[in-house]
Amino acid sequence: MSAKPRVAALQMATGPNVNANLLEVERLIRDAAEAGAGLVVLPENFAFMGRQDQDTLSILEAEGDGPLQRFLAEAAARFGVWLVGGTIPLRSATPDRLRAACLVYNDQGVRVARYDKMHLFDVNLPGADERYEESATIEAGNDPVVVDSPFGRLGIIVCYDLRFPELVRHMADSGVEVLAVPAAFTALTGKAHWETLVRARAIENLVYVVAAAQGGYHLSGRETHGHSMIVDPWGAILAQVPRGTGCICSPVDRGFQDSVRRTFPALEHRRLKCK
């Protein structure tokens, strides 16, 4: 592994045709691999966004087996990349709800981690006729995930999780160095908060953030913000794609990160710890 391995974030405007979405994902993963990326992060709901949230139940998969899980494993192995697989719907203990699961595969296609989205987007957007109720179809996860990788200690959060700094600070206690953020921020909330939140999580925890978003118009009528970005531990945006489909790639400079953490040891100055 290079001293400065490259990481990538993919951006899409996913629709309800799974096969078409997967063809687009495969093309983008290939682009990222050809650009030298060893870690590729997919956006939330990369494989399917239906007209209604309940439509996602139609592609529900059992833990450990299913076409989306096979696609991710095969893509990771074929292109020789670590793949953070956005989210896919896995069966939950409740029949009419699912787990929004982010699966991580190594470059051999072996699954090395699973994170289930913990914070569910149940909101009325201020000043807009938009309401979201993820808890109607999604069962929340319970456990943070940080896994060893060739790119450093890799943490996973999903979309609305980004608004809960205590989750990432908890990961800091587990030594997180790179944070992957599959997301699908709305156009309204993204314009107001996306960049601020992504950069804040990087700055607070002195981590690289690889944030892969949905970006564009969807057949459901929903509009997502896009602006996928890769941010360094000082909060600088290293790469960004505004709207539509695209791939961004940037090196992760672990020497720079170690230097920042050594000369600006904010993590060591903490007075309170997450329980």
For tokens 């490259």, the residue is 6
* One-letter amino acid of 230: I
Active site residue 275: no
The catalytic position among 134, 139, 159, 177 is 159
The catalytic position among 24, 44, 177, 223 is 44
Contact 115, 88 (CB under 8 A): no
Active site residue 159: yes
The catalytic position among 24, 102, 117, 177 is 117
Active site residue 44: yes
Cβ-based burial of 153 (10 A; exposed 0-12, middle 13-18, buried ≥19): middle
| Active-site residue list | 44, 117, 159
